[in-house]
Every structure is written in structure tokens, then in C-alpha cells.
Amino acid sequence: MDCLTGQTMKFAIALFSPPHSPSSRRALRFAQAALSSGHEIVRLFFYQDGVHSASSSVVSNQDELDVAAQWRELLTTHQLDGVVCIAAALRRGVLNAEEAERYARNAASLEAPWELSGLGQLHEASQMADRLVCFGGN
């Protein structure tokens, strides 16, 4: 066994589902629990519909969990590396200021602490981490 319970682990977390899906809430709770248990999160990678959780344009009902806001808070508080797949984000209209200017779009909806980058960042994260945990589907 390369792992004993109680040991500090490095996690990479990948999220594939939109902010209103149950699995994105599970990813958030898992990330919070991992940090509370003293583990490290080397990178969060948001892919496919998961990119919407990084958007600053998402508005939640007041009586509902604001997943996007909680991710932002988690990233900021713990200074986590949050990477959003650039190809997945652009085709869904999630652009940062630089991309909005490049493609002459009238609004940007992705801000720091999030970064747009390529799928290679997910591969690298899986190499850096002891465990890659993916969340998606339902």
C-alpha cells in the first residue's frame, strides 16, 4: 500500500457537470472535507459543463446553494489553483477579459482566481496528485 490513513495526500479534483447539478455540490463538499482533513488540493480542473461554475455571471436563487460563489470563496480562502478548460469555456460563452477582447465579445464572465488553460493542465494535475477524483453526471 502506498498510502496509510492519516497521511496527508495531494488531491486533484476534476468537475464535469454544471453548477446546478448534484455532482457539482458533491465536488464542492468533497473539496471542503479534503482541506478540513488536512489534505492538499494541487489543482481544481473544470471541464465540459463544469466551466459554468467558474462563471461570475451565474445567479442563484436566494434560497438555493450558490455553488459558483462557494467555489470562488474556497479558491480565494485557500489560494487554490483553479483551472478552467479554455476550449470548453469559449464554446459556452465563459470568457475572461483577454478572450472577450480577442474575439470581440461584449462581456467577460471569468475573473481571478480562475484561469483559462488547456486540457494538459488536467494531465499535469493527475501526475502531481496522489489521487485524481472526478465528479460529473448526476
Considering only 54-62, 81-89, 100-108, 126-134, which stretch makes contact with other proteins by CB under 8 A? 126-134
Considering only 24-32, 51-59, 62-70, 94-102, which stretch makes contact with other proteins by CB under 8 A? 24-32
In this structure, are residues 132 and 14 in contact, taking their beta carbons and an 8 Å threshold? yes
Considering just the CA atoms, what is the radius of gyration of the chain in Å? 15
Q: Of the two residues 95 and 136, which places its CB atom closer to other proteins in the complex? A: 136
Asked if 26 touches other proteins (CB under 8 A), the answer is yes
CA torsion through residues 11, 138, 53, 20, sign: negative
Asked if 63 touches other proteins (CB under 8 A), the answer is no
Number of residues that bind other proteins (CB under 8 A): 28
CA distance 23 to 84: 17
- From residue 84 to residue 113, the character string flagging contacts with other proteins as x (rule: CB under 8 A) and all else as - is ------------------------------
In this structure, are residues 48 and 88 in contact, taking their beta carbons and an 8 Å threshold? yes
CA distance 2 to 6: 12
Among 20, 30, 60, 115, binds other proteins (CB under 8 A): 30
Considering the complex, what minimum distance in angstroms separates the CB of residue 70 from other proteins? 14
Active site residue 3: no
What are the CA-CA distances from residue 31 to residues 8, 11, 23, 63, 67 (Å)? 14, 9, 12, 22, 12
